[in-house]
């Protein structure tokens, strides 16, 4: 059966490539993915797969099989607000880009759906398929859970994977503490605007913002143990529209990532202590807004072992499986893995020419489409094996 599943995935390789390239040309962001939802819905209709769409948040929940046991396969499908620079014939042209491989993820799940539908009568339970929006903004998994993805029927276990463009194609990675938690925040500092020639009559929020920035960097350098894995990044600092005008406001947005819950709690508390104090020292007022708050992706070790056996049973030439996957990046699949037993793997999708490898989110990133049939077979086989155990 395992060989047959891989063969079935390879037989639809041309279709997988078409789906991926179609999706690549219609990238959409966050929770508003009308074209993406429409495209995936049409493909599910063609397969006669039962599904439900939650259009207000662009969530698609499909279902294959019947029975008491229920297994969830999840793929994200949102893109990035990045102008594509790949030069591909099927490159996007709308100012957004699938620069993290979510077009491959959605395609892999569609491929798994096609395989599972062909074996529906053999399934001793239900496979749910979650096509999720908003992973990049850490809002999609929460929206899917609120839409009821884990209930009716109740999901017993789950699996998700992510393609990486700087890992050789055929390489599978897994771990226990796979990805870090993330706390996203927005700091708005308000001063008093005025003419650049008279700063003494103004309250400069940029000055306050610079000092807030330095104070937050000192949190990691001076208040975290050297052994603590923690990263605090201010990725956006915006203020003003003219060189000779002191603005009213300055905005800083950033993320805090760690695997240590105690360190995470301490740092969030200190952010909320330090920012108002620094702002007050420079006569500005401040507002701190939470943009995201997602725990670490913690994988179930027993499921890790089971899923690895399923992948090994495919006997795909060139596949290597490596443990120890542990990165500071974050994933809102953590919202699901915190509620039910789950595991999260990575799939190599590096192109043959390693000199062209780019990191995730790079506007020139390229993905190897040879990862598509392996991914589809892997998803389908993991679900089938778990239901059959």
Report d(CA 296, CA 243) in Å as an integer.
Answer: 42
Report d(CA 350, CA 370) in Å as an integer.
Answer: 9
Q: How many CB atoms lie within 10 A of CB 249?
A: 18
C-alpha 90: how far from chain center: 23
Contact 56, 111 (CB under 8 A): no
Helix H or strand E segment including 380? helix 371-388
Residue 3 confidence (pLDDT) = 64
2-179+296-388 topology per CATH? Aminopeptidase (3.40.630)
pLDDT digits (tens, 9 = 90+) for 39-88: 999 999 999 999 999 999 999 999 999 999 999 999 999 999 999 999 99
Residue 1 confidence (pLDDT) = 63
Contact 78, 135 (CB under 8 A): yes
The annotation status of 102 as a binding-site residue, yes or no, is: yes
Report d(CA 79, CA 376) in Å as an integer.
Answer: 20
Q: Do domains 2-179+296-388 and 181-294 have the same CATH topology?
A: no
- Report which of 301, 292, 41 is spatially closest to residue 142, judged by C-alpha positions: 292
Contact 367, 98 (CB under 8 A): no
Q: Which token pair is 247?
A: 């603005």
Sign of the alpha-carbon torsion through 81, 86, 87, 90: negative
- Report which of 72, 70, 74 is spatially closest to residue 153, judged by C-alpha positions: 70
Residue 126 confidence (pLDDT) = 99
Residue 223 burial by CB count (10 A; 0-12/13-18/19+): exposed, middle or buried? middle
> Mean pLDDT, the chain, as a whole number?
97
The annotation status of 136 as a binding-site residue, yes or no, is: yes
Report d(CA 158, CA 117) in Å as an integer.
Answer: 18
CA-based radius of gyration for the chain = 23
Task: List the domain boundaries for the chain.
Answer: 2-179+296-388, 181-294
Contact 230, 220 (CB under 8 A): yes
Whether domain 181-294 has CATH 3.30.70.360: yes
Contact 180, 328 (CB under 8 A): yes
Residue 119 confidence (pLDDT) = 97
The annotation status of 100 as a binding-site residue, yes or no, is: yes
Residue 325 confidence (pLDDT) = 96
The annotation status of 135 as a binding-site residue, yes or no, is: no
User: Which of the residues in the chain have pLDDT under 70?
Assistant: 1-3
Residue 226 confidence (pLDDT) = 87
């Amino acid at each position: 059966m395992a060989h047959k599943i891989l063969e079935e995935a390879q037989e639809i390789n041309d279709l997988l490539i078409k789906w991926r390239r179609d999706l690549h040309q219609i990238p959409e962001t966050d929770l508003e993915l009308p074209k993406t939802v429409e495209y995936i819905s049409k493909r599910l209709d063609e397969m006669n797969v039962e599904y439900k769409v939650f259009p207000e948040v662009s969530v698609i929940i499909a279902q294959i099989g019947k029975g008491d046991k229920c297994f969830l396969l999840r793929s994200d499908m949102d893109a990035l607000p990045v102008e594509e620079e790949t030069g591909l014939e099927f490159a996007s042209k709308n100012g957004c880009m699938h620069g993290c491989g979510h077009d491959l993820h959605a395609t892999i799940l569609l491929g798994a759906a096609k395989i599972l539908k062909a074996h529906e009568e053999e399934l001793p339970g239900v496979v749910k398929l979650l096509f999720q929006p908003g992973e990049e903004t850490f809002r999609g998994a929460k929206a899917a859970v609120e839409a009821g993805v884990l209930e009716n029927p109740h999901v017993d276990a789950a699996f998700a994977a992510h393609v990486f463009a700087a890992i050789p194609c055929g390489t599978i990675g897994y771990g226990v503490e796979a990805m870090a938690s993330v706390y996203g925040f927005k700091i708005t500092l308000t001063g008093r605007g005025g003419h650049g020639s008279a700063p003494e009559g103004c309250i400069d929020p940029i000055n306050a913002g610079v000092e807030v920035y330095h104070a937050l960097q000192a949190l990691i350098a001076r208040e975290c143990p050297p052994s603590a894995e923690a990263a605090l990044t201010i990725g956006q600092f915006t203020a003003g529209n003219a060189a000779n005008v002191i603005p009213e406001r300055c905005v800083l947005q950033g993320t805090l990532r760690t695997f240590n819950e105690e360190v995470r709690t301490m740092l969030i508390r200190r952010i909320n202590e330090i920012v108002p104090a620094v702002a007050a020292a420079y006569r500005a007022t401040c507002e701190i807004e939470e943009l995201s708050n997602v725990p670490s992706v913690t994988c179930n070790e027993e499921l890790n072992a089971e899923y690895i056996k399923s992948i090994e049973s495919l006997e795909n030439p060139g596949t290597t499986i490596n443990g120890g996957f542990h990165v500071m990046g974050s994933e809102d699949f953590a919202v699901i893995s915190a509620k039910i037993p789950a595991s999260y793997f990575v799939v190599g999708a590096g192109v043959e020419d390693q000199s062209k490898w780019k990191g995730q989110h790079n506007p020139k990133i390229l993905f190897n489409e040879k990862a598509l049939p392996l991914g589809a077979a892997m998803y389908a086989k993991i679900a089938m094996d778990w239901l059959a155990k």
